């Protein structure tokens, strides 16, 4: 169940994952996103027996990637902070959505088979990458 929890966190993420008051170096680069950087995402299960977990997620150019290679996370963060993500690994998958704001983010997730669901929250880690 821990693998499922990790899978769910990354998508929720996404997102989970936020922006400092000033523009980052990544946002100034061509193709950069103001949400680029490494984020700490906590996934909470509210229904089902999937457990809760905290994972690291990286956003580069508005695209989300997992820091842990035991699962595959993918997703996007729009210019308005809207997050859409999916995660797969260990024969399981989940998807999540939400929104990022200046220094935090939150949303919800659901396993592909519907056996678990919950919420996620994210905070941007200090520094860039």
Residue 11: helix, strand or coil by DSSP? Answer: helix
In a domain, 120, yes or no: yes
Q: How many other CB atoms sit within 10 Å of the CB of residue 72?
A: 15
- In the chain, the number of structural domains is 1
Q: What was the pLDDT predicted at 84?
A: 97
In a domain, 83, yes or no: yes
In a domain, 35, yes or no: yes
Structural domain including 119 reads 2-124
Instruction: Indicate the pLDDT class of residue 127, thresholds 50, 70 and 90.
Output: low
Task: With a cut of 90, say whether residue 129 has pLDDT above it.
Answer: no
Q: Whole-model pTM? A: 0.72
Most confident of 8-12, 17-21, 62-66, 100-104: 62-66
In a domain, 129, yes or no: no
Largest CA distance in the chain: 43
Contact 85, 15 (CB under 8 A): yes
- Quick: pLDDT tens for 112-125: 999 999 999 999 98
Gyration radius from the chain CA atoms: 13
Q: What is the CATH number of the domain that holds 102?
A: 2.40.128.120
């Amino acid at each position: 169940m821990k693998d499922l929890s990790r899978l769910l966190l990354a998508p929720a993420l996404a997102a989970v994952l936020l922006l400092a008051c000033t523009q980052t170096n990544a946002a100034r680069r061509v193709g950069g996103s103001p949400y680029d950087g490494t984020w700490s995402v906590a996934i909470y299960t509210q229904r089902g027996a999937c457990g809760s977990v905290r994972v690291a997620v990286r956003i580069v150019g508005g695209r989300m990637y997992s820091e842990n290679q035991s699962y595959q996370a993918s997703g996007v963060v729009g210019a308005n902070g809207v997050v859409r993500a999916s995660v797969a690994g260990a024969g399981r998958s989940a998807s999540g959505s939400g929104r990022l704001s200046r220094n935090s983010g939150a949303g919800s997730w659901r396993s592909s088979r519907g056996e678990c669901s919950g919420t996620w929250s994210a905070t941007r880690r200090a520094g860039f990458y």
